[in-house]
Amino acid sequence: MRLDSFRLITLIFLLIPVQALGGAIEELQNFVNQSDSGQSTFVQRVYDSTGALVQESSGDLKFSRPGKFKWHYFEPYEQLLVGDGEFLWVYDLDLMQVTRVSLDRALGSSPAALLYGSEDIDSYFGLEALKPQGNLVRVRVIPYEESGLFERIEIGLIASVVRNMTLYDYFGQKTVIEFGQFSIPSNFNDDEFDFEMPENADLVTQ
């Protein structure tokens, strides 16, 4: 009888993680499907292959699906990334240089596609549920395109809202992005994601 009770308790504890893991992918899909627009702050930390912190930056972001976003770094160096639906514009204020890239080429299977791209994330990524971490449900995202910058991405969510992303590259380096509270949806002016070429800045196209 004691053995049967032990087996029953073990079965219950084995089933709980399975149910939670299935919900993690559903929560990521909900975030993608239901967040047509939004904005938040972020803190980004980059660690080398030994785990040492090599860079920390912060800023804010705004997005409107599909393909419109503004990712603004304030600290330690100011840099602005704008997706206008057709191009990605990267403005480095210290260098007074603007780089313009086709948005389709820039997004593809990049992490940005999860936040600002189309709802069809299954076309670009494989999704694998991970064990919860505290009050976060977690999903591992693996780009199908191996030529990308990142080997895998791990996303933590609460109530179908992304709270953090950890990006692992092919050299053992990882980038951790912690988001503030998302405001979803957000109302933006029609010209919010237009990019105006700054005077005296050099333009580089790719």
- Global pTM? 0.80
Number of domains in the chain: 1
How long is the chain?
A: 206
Q: What is the mean pLDDT of residues 88-112?
A: 82
Q: What angle do CA 17, 23, 27 make, to 5 degrees?
A: 140
143-197 tens-digit pLDDT: 877 666 788 889 999 988 899 999 998 899 999 999 998 888 888 998 999 999 9
DSSP letter for each residue of 51-98: S-EEEEEEEEEEEETTTEEEEEEEESS-EEEEEESSEEEEEETTTTEE
187-200 tens-digit pLDDT: 899 899 999 999 99
The pLDDT of residue 112: 65
Structure tokens at 5: 């009770």
Say if CB 89 and CB 81 are below 8 A apart.
Answer: yes
Domain that holds residue 193: 2-205
CATH of the domain at 66: 2.50.20.10
Structure tokens at 42: 């972020």
